[in-house]
A and B are shown apart, each in its own frame.
Chain A
Amino acid sequence: MQIKPILAALRRHRLATLLIAVEIALACAVLCNACFLVARRWTMIQINSGVDESSLAVLTVNGFDPKLSADVNARMLTGLRAIPGVQSATLISEVPFGPQTGAAGVTHEPGDFKNLIGVVDFVLAGPGTFKALGLKLVEGRLPQPDDYRPATSFLPDYAQVLVTRQWAEHAWPGENPLGKSFWCDKMHFRVMGVVDHYARAQPGQYDLGQGEWTVFTPVVPGGSLSGTYLLRARPQDVQRVLQAARAAVQKIAPDVVLDQDNSKTLNDLRANYFKSDRIMIGLLLGVVVLMLGVTALGIVGLTSFWVAQRRKQIGIRRAIGATRGDILRYFQTENFLIVTFGIALGMLLAFGLNAVLMRFYELPHLPLPYLPVGALALWGLGQLAVLGPALRAAAVPPVVATRSV
């Protein structure tokens, strides 16, 4: 295929060529960035909570005098365990996708606020909660009865805890985390075990690699560990069990108020938590599809115009020996050249848009693999859009050359 005549022809139509190229460039910039955002959100909503979500529900009550918390706990646990279908009812301070109750910065040395390792979620949990959650232990040991410590303020002064693999790899990269210490102000924690996955309460508020910075802290019920109960039932029962539990609260403890919003199954909590992200993914994909459609239509419109304009030239070329394939390939090559030019421009624009977005959002740089994929998509789109007009051009009969109009 001769490229020179095509370039010569394009030079005669600089404005139209430039318009298609600019359109492709804008589409390329928006496409790459939108797909990047979609991919990030998709990764986030796929987060592995590490717990048996479909078997679990959480029930929250409040409005009672903190001095009575031990009494309320005892009554609530007895009452909840009596509900048919409940496999276990235990105490927990927060569950994945529920409200966050205890995030704090932790350090390698006591009171060393300058060198924060990071901000973790401390999940306070009573006896039986580890088993109820269904967490998977990969190293170390499970909490024994004397590991449960009283929490005088929010956290116990000293506790043996379980951490997630993600946190262990962040805090002690390449080392064995078992037996390692970390501090929250003067409160001391020692790692007794590592769990595979365990999402913190609000993973979406942290960077992608920090959604599982969770510390499972065994605590004696009472004080700050009261009012939030984890219910476990068979997956098919869990909705019914929760309804029964919600209804039973009035009878079990007439002096407390059921927190309607925070008494849900974990499946519901998760769906609710990621709702806006799913909407955003839908919107971004919608914009991308519409934009590609508009771009394709623009290419169809302009190429059709060119074909109509060059009808006579095409006829002459056919008359002097060009095959249909030659004409088809001419328009395809022409489109390929314009789109390539547009993509080159678009890559610069894509990085520009990424830089703008980075100023307003906590986003990393656009990863390079998005560019070739975006380019392939646009080349494909261009070829698809040009096919119709090019086929019409190829169908121009040679006899047109002999007609005057």
Chain B
Amino acid sequence: MQEVKKLEIINLCKEYDGEDFVIKNISFDVFDGEFLSILGSSGCGKTTVLRMLIGVLNPTSGKILKDGKDITEVHPSKRGMGIVFQNYALFENMTVFMNVAYALKIHKIPNYKEQTDDILRRLGLEELRDKKPAELSGGQQQRVAIARTMALKPDIILFDEPLSALDVSTRLLLRNEIKALQKESGITMIYVTHDQEEAFAMSDRIMVMKEGEIQQIASPEELVEKPANEFVKEFVIDNLQMKIDALAKYRRNS
């Protein structure tokens, strides 16, 4: 299933006003229907890559192809992609319903009300329909943000550390919901995170980044078995091992 290329990123570079490159000539493919995580510590450039993919940031050089077509210069709204941010970025003066319906209404979609209700139902938000974001919990707000991206029927959704602001139990719950949504809808998802565990739990493939460069892009199994370099081994494997060790230690003691 993973052999159809959805996105091709070719020699992508980003620099700011003569400073050093933030993104140093990276190339990778994203397959249709896959769940790809971009994993790295803060400042490694993972969010910058995401912003260039969605089109709110112009690359200094390089190309982005979607379904074989060059979309490097295409406006964000014409890329068929949605984005979900860590801090939700909801329209706070609008109800849950209007947050989702707003874009449809502006684009004069005739049956926008039915479409919106349909999306709300799929994400289990119909009860919150008339509430404002301030009345919702963090997890509920993030569900609304996901619902909002679904309005324009994207075939790719980008996530920028969407669960980092939530407590652990909500995080686990939403993790499963996002995964389920992907399975059900077949939407390609690109998921930026700094959390190794999250990346391993959710991804078909993981792309590890450091200082604007790709260290390795591989399935979780391959990462564990054949880490490409010392950094990947330390940052990914050792980190996970530490948690397991900690757990094991307490198990022994009890």
A binds B: no
Interface positions of B (Cβ within 8 A of A): none
A binding-site residues for B, Cβ under 8 Å: none
